[in-house]
Structure 1
């Protein structure tokens, strides 16, 4: 249920963007911030939430997250202007940071058998497919019948129900040994993500000189993280995780896959409503082929990961997402209803296969005492990818589109952005081929052996089908 409201919020909100643009008099950059203010805060806090849950109790942190997310949703629904909406989206994100990685940690500590865990993660990931299927249609119906504010209302009953069910059914769990907070590392992560995103979003309007200081701060924060974290006994980000080739591959794949998703939803929503002139409901109906394929593919991917490992799902995902990007960039898929439909089907198929192998690979082979942190790194990669996808593709679109003839210049301005989507798919394809073999699994086993002593030689999670 927590994954449902977080994912549904993203897909339904994208359908509402043109309505919000008109109601709040927002620019393209303003629309980017309504999405990226949320994903940016989420990405910055996920690892802190994961380690905190391992330390003080996963159920406790999860319930706090549900409460804050629900309150943030209520505030968003009442936002009087764009600036307030962006602030309230940040409140939502603080709660959201305590949900998905903590839920994944709970699943990892409940299902200790590798095959059972892969199937459980496949079922959990299928909720993303459900939200992809329901989000555009539900969002379109709500926007047309009530207005964009109703997008946030649906989180209230679901959040409350999830809170009560968690209180009743979810057992408390925590790591055997508490990990100390890392405030310096946390501040460096916030500086890195925040300044990088600001520089990308604002450069089309403000210019390179104006955003150069922010880019410099982001680069300095990255260097400081790489120097500081290995010197801590209990770092926020244990860089030894990345000695596992499957883990590193899953991290980069998550960034690429979700960057493609963020860019795809942003471009498609603006095209369908601002260029084709469709209302929110009919735009949502056009998105259903993508959403349905995602919904159908996600559980299939989970079963494939459980039975055959992550390679085949990642290869299918990479080929489909790349083909979608090329179809739009090189062949103008928007110009024909048939090719537009095919493009949406290809992306839905690809994205449906990408989520389960990312999630399972990230937690396989890591000590269970660090399950929350490992899952949080994977979740951070997803949110960072979506943040960068919206920021980069939105900036490319803003630089090429002419506001005075928006509909006439949109398709040409979007072509470079679609090539970026194709590049994201190609990255998924290449990493799926390179990081899922026997050699890669051996690096995961060695990483687990190195990590276990720091956690008091806790039993490492078996490197199973998902590694």
Structure 2
């Protein structure tokens, strides 16, 4: 059964969009606020750099592993039902995180949070896609959705810093409770139930292979473990061998025959790798090297957050009017130029250059979200909207997980674990030590920005649109007449 969204009034459509944005807000706000609290966590719970990495990556890793399962499950048993369940689990996980007595229990409770979070973002995007079916309206709605990321980036560091200084880092998780409960009540009242006409069957083997790939790859990077890297490679080989042979796989590899869809996946991984690494580095730099408080660090990063907040909805309108190409090219340029100031010109040593880097990077990141999501779902059969949106969301979380893992590993290698928190290499000059140790990370982040630019240029032209049309026809032919409804191409 699929709810006829044409019967929804414009006012109710806006309410549905607002509810979906509330779910994105608590998930995004939680992550950005927690980044500012990392030094406080290190001090309170005795965490190492790898411990701090796991505080962030345990969440994003579980989230990435379950997003596609959540998307296909929602298509099968009901999007509102799965969305409401996700809100309940996320609020419960937040409460447990606020009570965690040790770093190990905090990591475990973050994983509980992630189980709930996996039922929110991709399912919310599927609800939006099925509510706003006209291409321009959908692009504008996705632009608003992307703007919420900007709100969370702007509010997260400020709210997190204020809470850390006045109450403590545990209060960051308390913030999710009233917002999550309000979203749950509104969901039960206003969000219509909908399902795919012909949902796919569960794929437990594929789910295990995806979890093994992401988990082992992340562990291998953070802990420098070659055996786990080998297991990750085997899991990837298993996915490539097993999934195409299933009638209804967890990951339909045929999606990637669409150049725009493949491009959106690559862009999402690269953009969020850049974001994860950039935030991780600058949170530690501002507090541990410059000696700023958590609130002062949040204020220092406000220019980046403000630019994301301003340019995310503008990007949605630009995608609606001109397609994804202009937004992607501008986004890649900004996300490469911002970190380049740190990599090549040591922006940390100059306050004006530091804030220029924040502004440029924030503009680029603000522009990238709308074209990612819009491209991922455009042209795909609407019955597969949950899965297509989930792949895009998974790519984001994979990118953020890898960004934090790589940034932490390279920074630790450059500083030395003994030097961390004590003032740079050898403890002689904190600023010089951190600048030297982080330069390699900024070159990696710059390369991620260039990948966004290149992939955006290659996968947003006429040839790419033709591959998307061929892929959509193939999926419709093999799925049968029930799934003939297609998400309109923009």
TM bucket (normalised to shorter chain) is over 0.9
2:205 to 170, 176, 184: 184
For 1:195 and 1:146, the matched residues in 2 are separated by 36
| 1:464 to 2:489 alignment | yes
Aligned to 2:355: 341
CA displacement at 1:462 relative to structure 2: 4.3
TM-score (norm. length: structure 2): 0.93
Larger deviation: 261-270 or 110-119? Answer: 110-119
CA displacement at 1:384 relative to structure 2: 0.1
Aligned to 1:208: none
- What is the 5 A alignment of 1:34-433? 34-203=55-224, 211-402=225-416, 403-404=418-419, 405-406=423-424, 407=430, 408-433=432-457
* CA displacement 1:110-167 (0-9 Å, x = unmatched): 1111111111111111111111111111111111111111110100000000000000
CA displacement at 1:51 relative to structure 2: 0.2
- Paired residues, what number? 458
Aligned to 2:460: 436
2:199–2:383: 8 Å Cα contact kept in structure 1?
Answer: no
For 1:144 and 1:227, the matched residues in 2 are separated by 51
CA displacement at 1:25 relative to structure 2: 0.4
| Structure 1: gaps spanning 5 or more residues | 204-210
CA displacement at 1:463 relative to structure 2: 4.3
For 1:81 and 1:144, the matched residues in 2 are separated by 20
Aligned to 1:454: 478
TM-score (norm. length: structure 1): 0.97
1:320–1:425: 8 Å Cα contact kept in structure 2?
Answer: yes
For 2:392 and 2:345, the matched residues in 1 are separated by 34
Does the residue aligned with 1:464 lie in a helix, a strand or coil?
Answer: coil
1:369–1:455: 8 Å Cα contact kept in structure 2?
Answer: no
1:445–1:463: 8 Å Cα contact kept in structure 2?
Answer: no
| Structure 2: gaps spanning 5 or more residues | 1-21, 425-429
* CA displacement 1:354-399 (0-9 Å, x = unmatched): 0000000000011111100000000000000000000011100000
For 2:327 and 2:70, the matched residues in 1 are separated by 29
For 2:32 and 2:329, the matched residues in 1 are separated by 25
* CA displacement 1:306-358 (0-9 Å, x = unmatched): 00011111111111111111100110000011001101001110100000000
- RMSD over aligned Cα, in angstroms? 0.8
For 1:163 and 1:21, the matched residues in 2 are separated by 33
1:311–1:433: 8 Å Cα contact kept in structure 2?
Answer: yes
1:257–1:385: 8 Å Cα contact kept in structure 2?
Answer: yes
